Structure 1
Amino acid sequence: MRTRRCNLEKIWLSYYEPGVPPTLTYPEITLSDMLSNSAKTYADHTATNFVLRYLLGGRFTVGGKLTYRQLNEKVDRMATALYQLGVRKGDRVAVMLPNSPHYIITFFACMRLGAIVVNTNPTYTGRELQHQLHDSGAETIVLLNIFWPRLREVRAETPVKRVIVAHVFDTLGFPSNLLVKSAQRKTPEWVDVMPEQDIFFFQHLLEKYGPTPPRVSVTPDDIALFQYTGGTTGLPKAAMLTHRNLIANTVQIAAWLTRGEPGGEKMMAAIPFFHVYGMTVAMIYSIHMGAEIVIVPNPRPIDNVMNVIQRERCTLFPGVPAMYIGIINHPKVNEYNLRSVKACISGSAPLPMEVQEKFGQLTGGRLVEGFGMTEASPVTHCNPVFGERRAGSIGIPVPDTEAKVINLDTGEEIEPGSDETGELCVRGPQVMKGYWQRPEETAQTIDADGWLHTGDIARVDKDGYFYIVDRKKDMINVGGLKVLPRDVEEVLFMHPKVMEAVVVGIPHPQRGDDTVKAFIVPKPGENPTAEEIKEFCKLHLAPYKVPREVEFRSELPKTLVGKVLRRVLVEEEKAKQKAAMATA
């Protein structure tokens, strides 16, 4: 019998905080138009504040600022340069840059020409870079000089025709540009890129070309971005996100942050722009609101983040759990004034309620957990920032977003309030157009009714709050019983000596099922034992869920965004097993 479609009635709307409308009006504009509008409204407001480091007790900042007028002019100059170099509407431009003004300038220059940005992770190896450039068909790449050697080794196997090399000091004013240039040339990472055919320099292009880009007809339904993801199946592939997708998600975020002040916010931009979360929440939202983007190229160590928040008085701080966990457990956290922070949205991984509450006590602001995925631009759910948040929940769908949980076997919708779990599906204006050159995988991910099948195992309570239980692919099989890593991790986070924890299933070479193993980072000064952890878990978990193995580490392998790399841990364990068998 078909389950009644209760959640399509949007039962969660009654939990929207005052000021959040159930539906929104989305402007028929492009991302280029969004910047142009903000440049007119907030012309003399600071748009970017590039913070590299502080000198003389913080009285002097090595870095630089651009107003919205200056940023818009540099975008025009770069758009003109790209056009003169041969970039046309629909062409793909790979952007391999850390958080910096260069990224923002390049991104919006591409938007102005109707070109498609291909976000490229700066940590990619030559092999990974070659795959992405080949798959996307990018003929132009903009990268930092220190990344040039990796491109050089694979360039002949890619379609790249032109390379634009940026240096950190390009957009800095005097004397910061000279100080940074001098300091960087002394570092072992420094790379001198020699002028060659089809190699151009970012700063030279800004100086050579005027702010007179050609008029290109770009529509909201044109593709703006190729964002690569592993998705729910297979090899990395590009989610095609349109201007309309990204504008819609930005407007949804703006509606959710009810106390956001147009022209008055300072955005702590420590999460990478090359990741869709950082790009939409930290960069595009800020441009939409006329906020000052306080750009931090490297959030490590976490002292950098706390220092910038204190000195720049940042008001908004999107991040990942690892950042907030690092702050609340920092031995000198009470020496920093973090009271300027009023709102934080955490994504990418589960956020324990203990962390949310402790961070709120330190800052006076609100930290809540949200959820999104590359294919949805990315935000689909969030706990009300100043309303009711629930422990372990990703919150409720943002305006104009539908969500449901379906049975994994039958595809039938699961009744809200049931303890049954299933696959989370979402539908809304932020959902991608599809995967680039992957029609079959697109059809597997987005059904005929427009529902995006996320691949996440979830449940929904009677009020419409959603809870991610785990990824389908991360479920652990113990003697035929399914163990969801998050169930075990929630218990581990309850232990007073545990700072970070992740649980994976290690294939057992003889039994054919999995062994539950926990990897733990203890809190500073704590030395828990494996037996102590196991005994604690036995108090809160069924016997088959209790970790059989516990390993303590000083840190966990993570992406630049802060998401724990479970697959790396599994691969390490498989390698150990293989080595042990070879020795035996």
Structure 2
Amino acid sequence: MSTSARERATVAAGGAGTVSAERAAEYRRRGWWREETFLDDLRRRAREHPRRPAVAGRRVAESRTDTLDYAELNRLTDRFALALLELGVGQGDFVAVQLPNRWEMVPLIFASIRVGAVIIPISPICTEEELRHRLGLTEARVCVTLPAWSDTPLAEIATRLKDELRTLEHVLVVDGPVPEGALPFHGHFVAEEREEREGAAARLDGLALGPDDPFVVLFTSGTTGPSKGVLHSQNTVHSAVRGYVDAYGAGEDAGDGGGWVAAVSTPLVHYSGFAQGVLAGVMLGGTVAFQDVRHNEALLDLVERYGATLLYGPPATLADVVASQRAERRDTSTLRHVVIGSAPVLEELADEVHAVLGARAHSLWGMSENGPVTTTRPEDPEGWAARSNGSAIDAMETRIETSRAYGSTGATGAVGRLKVRGASLALGYHRRPEAFAAELDEDGWFDTGDLARDDGRGGIRIIGRARDAVVRDGRVAPMTELEAVIGSHPRAEEAALVGLEAPGGQGPGNVIVAVVVPRGGRGPTLEEIRARVTGAGHDARFLPDRVELLAALPKTLTGKVRKAELRERYAADTAPA
């Protein structure tokens, strides 16, 4: 990216955060930051292994799988890049992509890098208000979307917003009917072999993003207000995915890359699918496999067909996968690592993953601002994933800042606010530099907003969000662990805990309410929940006082529970059961 384009993008990002020259030099010396980019990785893999599968995208409803090898992905990257140029996209512009897990997402990532544009992955379940916020905040010039998703007319909404937002010039629709004012995606991006035109390569020369340029905006959950756009460079992402793959022995397992085959259940518009899935795969020269809709029972089909060595997903997904394997066995002999993120790993699930899938379960913790920060590793004790969220990847550091607000500061396993710093930290919040700066101290430590304790082996165990903390008798309730235990009850789909103020103003958190989504119409009773919590070995002081059944938990686009809504909903009656 040219200096002027870099300046435009940085200004648009609200003066994105920087690190000192000394620290940046250290990151480069350690190999966490580099002079190459993910586009360089793609070109190298296309030269070395042109026919190796890069992408396998399953279309569940259509019973088909779209595949791209490295030569095809490289060629489509140039084709898509030239298509972006013809739409007027230039260096420093922003390109929004609102798609499920489909193959088109992958060349769009690399085409944006190729023309010097910043990509904005957006979930297809985004509401009109949230889409307006994302497109308006980034001043996206192009939006790629679907005709509809879950009965929401995405293309109509995006086209309507094009008339409202002055910077949004083009809406392109993937498959299906195209509303007036929009363009067919495949007709513009895929049908014409622009890369074969005379002078095509010259048109793209000198445009690509550099490793430190703004590269992607990933939106946060927005549990307490409008979502923040987290801005990353390729280097901040590279340091995270490098640490992620190294933690599982990618050098040993992958060799020249052919041994790294990841089946990813999470959306490609989230950090885990975007970076740990697509970009990690291309960086290693491996294969990433995914499906366009949630169909957990079929994930093992991808594992068997493509010889996946790693499977990534949240606990509920992996529980479904284990149950599916018990019902219909697939060949999972290639599977070595099952990485579980977003919630605690229960010992029962870790044991079942090993017994049924023949793989080691790992627990991972991270966030959009940093990517994967901690993970358990193959060399950890057996079953450690059920006791820890692991230790920091090489490029990151963690620190637990205790205070009396969260109990005793000197006790073993004292709880405190989790802070992190390192090469994977984002450049900043797009157009909200003050919000990002507010979470940083003078030494570069970023306040994650989570509470954690030391796991006893140099790693961490996440307790829950600080703003949702419940303190009883000077001890913080391990909210995430309790929610996992309650949510694993046979008559529960999932659960959330909230602390409410007791009658008479005795203080917040005196009443613990378990909000449960029942499985099969009938949820567990309070007595059954208490018995399950006690049976899992948790302190009796943290037993729920009430249980409330709810058809679905209110959630953000990234799947986080809106606990403020639950507290408001159940605050009217806080008398213990």
Q: TM-score, normalised by structure 1?
A: 0.81
The residue that corresponds to 1:4 in the other structure is none
The residue that corresponds to 2:82 in the other structure is 80
Within the candidate set 399, 417, 441, 1:447 is matched to 441
Describe the SS at the equivalent of 1:66: strand
The residue that corresponds to 1:272 in the other structure is 267
1:381-400 C-alpha deviation (Å, 9 max, x unpaired): 10013533353311001113
Q: Partners of 1:336 and 1:553 in 2: how far apart? A: 35
Structure 1 residues without counterparts, runs of 5 or longer: 1-21, 56-60, 168-190
Q: Partners of 1:223 and 1:32 in 2: how far apart? A: 14
Post-superposition shift, 1:137? 1.1
Q: Partners of 1:203 and 1:264 in 2: how far apart? A: 36
Letter in 1 for 2:380: G
Q: Partners of 1:470 and 1:554 in 2: how far apart? A: 23
1:103-150 C-alpha deviation (Å, 9 max, x unpaired): 001111001111101121110111110011111111211112222022
Share of identical aligned residues, percent?
26
Q: Partners of 1:54 and 1:548 in 2: how far apart? A: 44
Letter in 1 for 2:431: Q
The residue that corresponds to 1:180 in the other structure is none
Within the candidate set 376, 380, 384, 1:387 is matched to 380
The residue that corresponds to 2:546 in the other structure is 549
Post-superposition shift, 1:553? 6.3
Q: Partners of 1:530 and 1:210 in 2: how far apart? A: 64
Q: Partners of 1:470 and 1:426 in 2: how far apart? A: 16
Change (3 A) 1:133 1:426: same
Q: Is the 8 A contact 1:480 1:513 kept in 2?
A: no
Q: Partners of 1:314 and 1:525 in 2: how far apart? A: 36
1:225-251 C-alpha deviation (Å, 9 max, x unpaired): 111114797531111100111122222
Q: Partners of 2:278 and 2:548 in 1: how far apart? A: 38
Q: Partners of 2:473 and 2:541 in 1: how far apart? A: 8
**1:33 lines up with 2:23 in the alignment:** no
Describe the SS at the equivalent of 2:310: coil
Counterparts of 1:277-316 in structure 2, within 5 Å, are 277-300=272-295, 302-316=296-310
Structure 2 residues without counterparts, runs of 5 or longer: 1-28, 149-153
The residue that corresponds to 1:424 in the other structure is 418
Counterparts of 1:183-582 in structure 2, within 5 Å, are 192-194=177-179, 196=181, 199-208=183-192, 210-211=194-195, 212=200, 213-215=203-205, 216-230=207-221, 234-258=225-249, 259-261=252-254, 262-300=257-295, 302-330=296-324, 332-376=326-370, 378-388=371-381, 389-408=384-403, 418-476=412-470, 483-486=477-480, 488-489=482-483, 492=486, 500-506=494-500, 511=505, 513-514=508-509, 515-520=511-516, 528-537=524-533, 540-542=537-539, 544-551=541-548, 563-567=559-563, 571=565, 574-575=568-569
Q: Is the 8 A contact 1:426 1:451 kept in 2?
A: yes
Q: Is the 8 A contact 1:47 1:66 kept in 2?
A: yes
The answer to which of 482-491 and 362-371 deviates more is 482-491
Q: Is the 8 A contact 1:116 1:226 kept in 2?
A: yes
Q: Is the 8 A contact 1:39 1:68 kept in 2?
A: yes
Describe the SS at the equivalent of 1:298: coil
Letter in 1 for 2:157: R
The residue that corresponds to 1:126 in the other structure is 128
Post-superposition shift, 1:479? 9.8
Describe the SS at the equivalent of 1:272: coil
Q: Is the 8 A contact 1:24 1:399 kept in 2?
A: no
Change (3 A) 1:555 1:333: farther
Change (3 A) 1:409 1:436: farther
Q: Is the 8 A contact 1:382 1:397 kept in 2?
A: yes
Describe the SS at the equivalent of 2:513: strand
Counterparts of 1:40-79 in structure 2, within 5 Å, are 40-53=47-60, 62-79=64-81
Letter in 2 for 1:245: T
Describe the SS at the equivalent of 1:299: coil
Change (3 A) 1:99 1:510: farther
Q: Partners of 1:559 and 1:385 in 2: how far apart? A: 33
Q: What is the aligned residue count?
A: 523
1:507-551 C-alpha deviation (Å, 9 max, x unpaired): 667646343122346788997433232345467555552111124
Describe the SS at the equivalent of 2:332: coil
